[in-house]
Amino acid sequence: MHLLVDISAHGYGHLAQTAPVLNALCARAPLRLSVRSALPRAVLAKRIDAAFAHIVEARDFGFAMHNAVDIDLDASAQRYRDFHRDWPQRVAAEAEWLQAQRVDALLANAGYLPLAAAAKFGCPAVGMCSLNWADLFAHYYAAQAWAQPIHRQILAAYNSAQAFLRITPGLPMDDFAARQIVGPIARLAPRQRAAIAATLDLDPQHRWVVIAMGGIDFPIPIADWPQTPGLTWLVPHDWNIERADIRPFDRQPIDFTQLLAGVDAVVTKPGYGTFAEAACNGIPLLYLERPDWPETAHLVAWLERHGRCAELTRAQLTNGDFIPQLEALWRQTAPPRPIVSGIDEAAAWLIRSFPEL
């Protein structure tokens, strides 16, 4: 069976949701696996255990971004108008592509064009994500007359799938006729501080705080932050910061989930992957305010029940003025960790949806 998995490159959260399910699925059934994504193969291979063919293309764009949290609404609106200008022809061309690739089944996170094309081609297809572009598009553009036909096309594409697996936590998706709610999806890792300290040359007696903004650039003037005794910041190596209390976490070969499970806290933006993995591995989290993003309220409400978290303003993140918030999180009693039930639930749904498995 040839399974095509379409993974959005709009951040790393879509991969973080999809890869554990693929790994579970491939352990149960032999597959010819193709992954279509604009994410680099090296990034995909860190999460996907099975062999796969990589098709370096994108069938969705989500939104044009100024940075990790700020949407370029005008540019995004133009992209959607362009994308949907010849929508029937676009769907037909995608269906021809699927047929030429001899795709037997499709899993999409969270593109909708592949689902519409699969329905036209007669190929079994399932969507899966904590969010969808129909609800997000409507949130920003519903009041504009030009957007209504586009929204109907996006929603119809999602509803053409055999199922849409809404991962917990996530948007409600009440308009999704084939919505199926599954539990949280996250990778787990043991807490291995000694190994991390040796790999990254860290003082094991220090507190370690990783800053990860979800795979989309977000400049932070961390070099200007005041130093805090006993605290080390872990940041991407391409920030090129040389300071004794700041270390790159990705210059050495270390799995991000293993790193996350060993640190004392994470600073991030609202997004599924880091929120879910922090909660499920018991790691406190500080998140940047993002009130305009529709998913934020649902992610935060879930994290407040299942983890230790607090919100940061932009000024706090810019100035590094949040050490009291970190210390308050460390004083809190950790709640019971969420059960990572979504992986097996999603894999079971896919097996039921794809008869050839």
pLDDT digits (tens, 9 = 90+) for 141-151: 999 999 999 99
Which pLDDT score is estimated for 71? 97
> Which tens digits make up the pLDDT trace of 303-334?
999 999 999 999 999 999 999 999 999 999 99
For residues 254-276, give the mean pLDDT. 96
Cross-strand partners of 167: 182
> Rounded distance, CA 139 to CA 136, Å?
5
Average pLDDT in the chain: 96
Percentage of residues in the chain having pLDDT higher than 90: 93
pLDDT on residue 251? 79
Please state, in angstroms and rounded to a whole number, the distance separating the CA atoms of residues 128 and 65: 23
Q: Cα-flanking dihedrals φ and ψ of residue 151, to 5°?
A: -60, -40
Q: Are 296 and 302 in contact (CB under 8 A)?
A: no
- Under the banding of pLDDT at 50, 70 and 90, the label for residue 356 is confident
On the question of pLDDT at 357 being above 80, the answer is: no
Q: Write down the pLDDT at residue 128.
A: 98
Q: 118: closest CA among 95, 86, 93, 134?
A: 95
Sheet of strand 285-288, all strands in order from the earlier edge strand to the far edge: 246-248, 231-235, 207-211, 265-268, 285-288, 309-312
Look at residue 2 in the predicted model and tell me its pLDDT: 97
pLDDT tens-place string over residues 205-252: 999 999 998 877 888 999 999 999 999 999 998 889 989 999 999 877
229 CB-near residues (< 8 Å, 6+ apart): none
Residue 165 clears pLDDT 80, i.e. is over it: yes
Omega cis (within 30) before 328 = no
**How far apart, in Å, are the Cα atoms of 138 and each of 142, 252, 258, 324?**
4, 42, 37, 38
Per the CB < 8 A criterion, the answer to whether 250 and 43 are in contact is: no
**Nearest residue to 340 via CA among 189, 176, 149:** 189
User: Is residue 39 classed as helix, strand or coil in its secondary structure?
Assistant: coil
CA angle 26, 97, 17 (to 5 degrees): 35
What confidence category does residue 29 fall into, taking pLDDT thresholds of 50, 70 and 90? confident
Instruction: Give residue 114's pLDDT band: very low, low, confident or very high (50, 70, 90).
Output: very high
- Looking at residue 27, its amino acid is A
Contact 1, 357 (CB under 8 A): yes
Q: Are 313 and 286 within 8 A, CB to CB? A: no
pLDDT of residue 136: 98
Q: How many CA atoms lie within 13 A of 89 on its CB side?
A: 5
Phi, psi (5° rounding) for residue 343?
-65, -55
Examine the pLDDT at 281 and tell me if it is beyond 90: yes
Mean pLDDT of 273-298: 97
Q: pLDDT tens digit string along 177-207?
A: 999 999 999 999 999 999 999 999 999 999 9
Q: Examine residue 169 and say whether the peptide bond preceding it is cis (omega within 30 degrees of 0).
A: yes
Q: Tokens in use for 60?
A: 């969705």
User: Is pLDDT at 30 greater than 90 in this prediction?
Assistant: no
pLDDT digits (tens, 9 = 90+) for 57-112: 999 999 999 999 999 999 999 999 999 999 999 999 999 999 999 999 999 999 99
Integer Rg of the chain from CA: 21
pTM exceeds 0.85: yes
**What's the confidence (pLDDT) of residue 217?**
81
Residue pointed to by tokens 């499920």: 280
Distance CA 49, CA 88 (A): 36
